[in-house]
Structure 1
Amino acid sequence: MSATATRPALPRPLLALVAALIALAGALLYAPAPAHAAGGLDTVAEALRKNPVYVDPRAAGQLPAADADRLARQIKDADKPVFVAVLPAAPEFPRSTVLADLRTKVGISGVYAVHLGDAFNAAADRSVMSRNAVSNLVGSVRRTGGDTNSQLSAFVDAAARTARGHAPGSWSGVEDKGFGTAGLITGGAVVVAGGAGAYALYRRTRRKREERERAELDALRVVVDEDITAFGEELDRLDFSPSEAGATEAMRADYERALDAYEEAKSKMAAAGRPQEVEGVTASLDEGRFALATLAARRTGAPLPERRMPCFFDPRHGPSVQDVEWAPPGGAVRTVPACAADATRLAEGEEPLARQVQTAGGPQPYWNAGPAYAPWAGGYFGGGLLPGLLVGTMLGSMMSGPAYAASPDGGGPEGGDYTGSDYNSDDFGGGGWGDGGGGGDFGGGGGDFGGGGW
């Protein structure tokens, strides 16, 4: 390769890091001695940038060091941006603003949980976890009760499984030691070594993210391939020929749309490189099934079907025909769209035929199978009703709208990314400090970050 050959561009996060390291090298001669750590939230924020769990010495009795270390290891092993602080009820930690101020001072997008005195609350960037999800988790933790360790363990366990994004690079354990004027040469070496180490960390974080996405896509591929196969079998059973006697232009158009949807679904799934891209596949399948239902009505002279969501219990059942009342085990009753067969089963006191998918714990209905199935459900149920349909289920707890719309690519920084104070406070929220079990907005802060009770 010639010396003038074009070199690949460095990733933008790495470019920013290199620029910061160069600036640091230029400032080494004039670096003052390190100041003493400030008190209050500044101390908490500085600690959380280095480790996911901080316990104020005045609240050490609430969470022993061994338990704090266990929580920190759990969060790091999950590679998720979950921050936990155990603080005393003190003037420097006002309940109305402590979460918003802590997020601003730490400057990293993520999920923030604070045990303040005898109260517990949490908030999150919307791109990391939906406000509904945080509120549900906070309410569940409060209603379960227990001591500080029990509450935080329960929250971390759920948050680490549902939060989007990655652990911040600052948790790698590399600390800033500060430099004097006599340390320029040593400081320069540290800058170079720091750049190499940061690039290695960037590569490792990206690799872990790609591995996670590949595993999620592999799980989705099994389910989507079953959907595509089922739709192909429906086309085979249709026994329709565009040239048959009685075929109309409208029928041929319906048939063509169904065939196009089938081919689109196959090509989109073959090209999918990330879980979020599965949304387009299931959206095509939904369109194709509605075209088939319309064609069937035209051939029999029945009224044309209304454009409705697919059957909630299994989208392979085709478009729903009515809304029914249903509740998941232990959950509240809600209205969901159902096909005729499932509506009849429910009316007769039987269980609907729910779509089962494989999980580590064995077959489960898709709504209890975890966040990987959010794009799959989003393509089928991509409307404002979806959160209401799934509330109280594992998948629903992660959604404030269609699950795929709240992905990191849908707006806002990815979990674990450094933003400093430059973030939208309207997109940071979740629970409330009220003793009534979750819900409500926060006090203080901007936008919707206000109004919660104690």
Structure 2
Amino acid sequence: MKVVPSARSPLSLVAALVLAALAVLAVFAPRADAATDVSTIARALRESPVYVDPEASGLLSQADAHALQERIEKADKPLFIAVLPAGYPTEDLFTDLRTATGVTGLYAIRLGDRFDARADSSVLSRTAVRNLVTSVQGEDDVKTQLDDFTDRALANMGGSAPASWGSSGGGGGVSTSALITAGVVLVAGGAGAYTVVRRNRKRHEEERRAALDRLRVVVDEDITAFGEELDRLDFHPAEPGADDAMRGDYERALDAYDRAKSAMAAAARPEDVRPVTEALEDGRFSLAVLAARREGRPLPERRPPCFFDPRHGPSVTDAEWTPPGGSPREVPVCAADAGRLKEGRDPAVREVDSDYGRRPYWEAGPAYGPWAGGYFGGGLLPGLLIGTMLGGMMSAPAYASDYGSGYGDFGGYEGGDVSGADFDTGDFGGFGGDGGGFGGGDFGGGGDFGGGF
């Protein structure tokens, strides 16, 4: 019987390494082009995350570029930034640069006074890229714009930095003989493919453990808050006026509290957090029903918790809310937040820790997806988060493998992997479907990137 190799068999990995070697040779082979051709930029980005063209040195100082480089390398994310002169040709620039660099990642370009970015969908979704670009579009100062974009991108993107950043000797060109030697090593390294996969798997597991540790702090706060609600309840099953329905509500709330604690104690991966917040949501609704019975009010309908902070309890109505840079949408809110919004004040938003300080949970990175998913299940969450950074991350293919289902599935290239020309050019074309990436030269024109969103 003929055995067909799997998509990720050692044979296919060797073939991928051969293609990667050819891509390296093609990218770095000596050329007679101008000093700022795409190959020159690509070569620099394979050695360092930040490239400043000599003709654009007035836009970003060497010290600022170095500080930006160190920040990206410390974060260990595949973010590439190029600062180019205003007259640089824009046609197919992102696609050509991604092809020449050959590394999966997020590519941002400041070109004169214009700015734009593209990314492989395994690293960051198109929606998230669009939101990130829009969030910094009005900033004229190059350093400020790139710093802000970098901070927000690093907090939301997936993947890890390419190994080539740590292997560069810095500065000058690369000899052809050295490249040929590297190519031979790559081709002969098929036996090492398994080692690479194991190393990537270990790195991903470490990232997921770190995400779970961050989630644990937030969930423990939620569990503690619910426990305090139970303590303040001042209800006893044997008190005068208590009936079986009330006792049932109270018992369900206590059971939810115990389920949440047990589930969190057993959590081993970020997605294991979802049952915890599902239990807390169920417990808070039981308390709301119990309160209505004790006060003789009509029983509340089953509604999702308050969008701004699920600890506020079940929502009582829907209110219009617009995230920064996003579109208006109806979100479930508690009575207190509904009053704040009606008066033109800000709601009481749940902020959590991120790599860059306290942020609303929908701006704090993909690790908070399982936490929010437990509170807002039943298909409700995507509609609430559309246009936010968390919503953009959750729509990316990389999200499922890192924070949802799909553990152990290493299909596709991860952020920072060398893929050569093997990537979806649609990720680097115009958001409006023009395919060129700049809408016929409209590069970052007032927020209309690549033919419009």
TM-score (norm 1): 0.69
Paired residues for 1:153-232 under 5 Å:
153-173=147-167, 203=199, 212-232=207-227
Secondary structure at 2:304 match in 1: coil
Q: For residue 418 of structure 2, what is the aligned residue in structure 1?
A: 418
Q: Which amino acid aligns with 1:229?
A: T
Alignment of 1:311-390 (within 5 A): 311-324=306-319, 335-344=330-339, 353-355=348-350, 357=352, 366=361, 372-382=367-377, 383-387=381-385
Q: 1:105 to 1:316 in 2, by over 3 A?
A: same
Equivalent position SS for 1:309:
coil
Partner of 1:114: 109
Instruction: Give unpaired runs (5+ residues) of structure 2.
Output: 1-6, 407-411, 432-437
Matched, 1:123 2:118: yes
Structure 1, residues 120-169: CA drift from partner, whole Å, max 9, x if none? 2112233423434322332343311024x443344233323332221112
Paired residue secondary structure (2:138): helix
Q: In the TM superposition, what is the alpha-carbon distance from 1:100 to its structure 2 partner?
A: 3.0
**Is 1:143 aligned to residue 135 of structure 2?**
no
Q: Percent identity?
A: 51
Relative to structure 1, the CA distance from residue 279 to residue 49 in structure 2 (aligned partners, 3 Å threshold; closer, same or farther) is farther
Q: 1:48 to 1:347 in 2, by over 3 A?
A: closer
AA aligned opposite 1:106: T
Q: Which stretch of structure 1 is more off in the superposition, 301-310 or 193-202?
A: 193-202
Alignment-derived partner of residue 73 in structure 2: 76
Deviation at 1:314, TM superposition (A): 2.5
5+ residue gaps in structure 1? 1-11, 443-450
Distance of 2:315 and 2:194 partners within structure 1? 52
* CA separation of 1:49 and 1:231: change in aligned 2, threshold 3 A: same
The one-letter amino acid of 2:136's match is V
Contact 1:289 1:318 in 2 (8 A): yes
Work out whether residues 109 and 117 of structure 2, in 8 Å CA contact, stay in contact via their aligned partners in 1.
yes
Decide which moves more: 171-180 or 67-76: 171-180
CA–CA distance in structure 2, aligned partners of residues 22 and 346 of structure 1: 56
Which segment drifts farther, 77-86 or 335-344? 335-344
Residue 293 to residue 21, structure 1, CA distance change in 2 (3 Å): closer
1:98-113 to 2 correspondence within 5 Å? 98-113=93-108
Alignment check: 8 A CA contact 1:290 1:307 kept? yes
1:36 aligns to 2:36 (yes or no):
no
CA contact (8 A) 1:375 1:403 kept: no
- Where 1:400 maps in the other structure, the secondary structure is helix
Cα separation, partners in 2 of 1:74 and 1:13, compared to 1, 3 Å: farther
1:337 positional shift: 2.4
| Contact 1:107/1:421, CA 8 A, preserved across alignment | yes
How big is each residue's C-alpha offset from its partner over 1:396-431, in whole Å with a ceiling of 9 and x where there is no partner?
434327589872626975322334444444555797
Residue 199 of structure 1: how far off its partner (Å): 5.3
When normalised by structure 2's length, the TM-score is: 0.69
Counterpart CA distance in 1 for 2:326 and 2:189 is 54
Could you tell me which residue of structure 2 aligns to residue 400 of structure 1? 392
Q: Find the counterpart in structure 1 of residue 263 from structure 2.
A: 268
CA distance in 1, matches of 2:318, 2:394: 19
Moved more, 115-124 or 342-351: 342-351
What is the alpha-carbon distance in structure 2 between the residues aligned to residue 264 and residue 223 of structure 1? 17
Q: Distance in 1 between matches of 2:374 and 2:78?
A: 27
- In 2 relative to 1, CA 426–320 (structure 1 residues): closer, same or farther, beyond 3 Å? farther
Corresponding residue number in structure 2 for 1:94: 90
Give the Cα separation in 2 of the matches to 1:402 and 1:256: 35
Match of 1:3 in 2: none
Give, in whole Å, the separation in 1 of the partners of 2:146 and 2:269: 32
Report the 3-state secondary structure (helix = DSSP H, G, I; strand = E; otherwise coil) of the residue aligned with 1:129.
coil
Contact 1:286 1:380 in 2 (8 A): yes
Other-structure match for 1:446: none
Q: CA deviation at 1:228?
A: 1.9
Name the SS for the 1:384 alignment partner. helix
Contact residue 82 and residue 110 of structure 1 kept, 8 A:
yes
Matched position secondary structure for 1:273: coil
C-alpha deviation, 1:330, in angstroms: 11
CA 277–296 in structure 1, closer or farther in 2 if over 3 Å, else same: same
Asked whether 1:247 is paired with 2:244, we answer: yes
> 1:20: how far off?
6.5
Offset, 1:379: 2.8
Superposition map of 1:230-309 within 5 A: 230-234=225-229, 237=233, 239-240=236-237, 246-247=243-244, 252=248, 258=253, 261-294=256-289, 296-297=291-292, 302-309=297-304
**1:85 paired to 2:66:** no
Q: Report the count of equivalent residues.
A: 411
Amino acid of the residue matched to residue 416 of structure 1?
A: G
In the alignment, is residue 48 of structure 1 matched against residue 45 of structure 2? Answer: yes
Q: Which segment is superposed worse, 121-130 or 314-323?
A: 121-130
Distance 1:49 1:271 in 2: 41
Moved more, 127-136 or 171-180: 171-180
Work out the CA distance in 2 between the residues paired with 1:207 and 1:57: 39
Equivalent AA in structure 2 for residue 45 of structure 1: A
2: CA distance between counterparts of 1:47 and 1:233?
A: 56
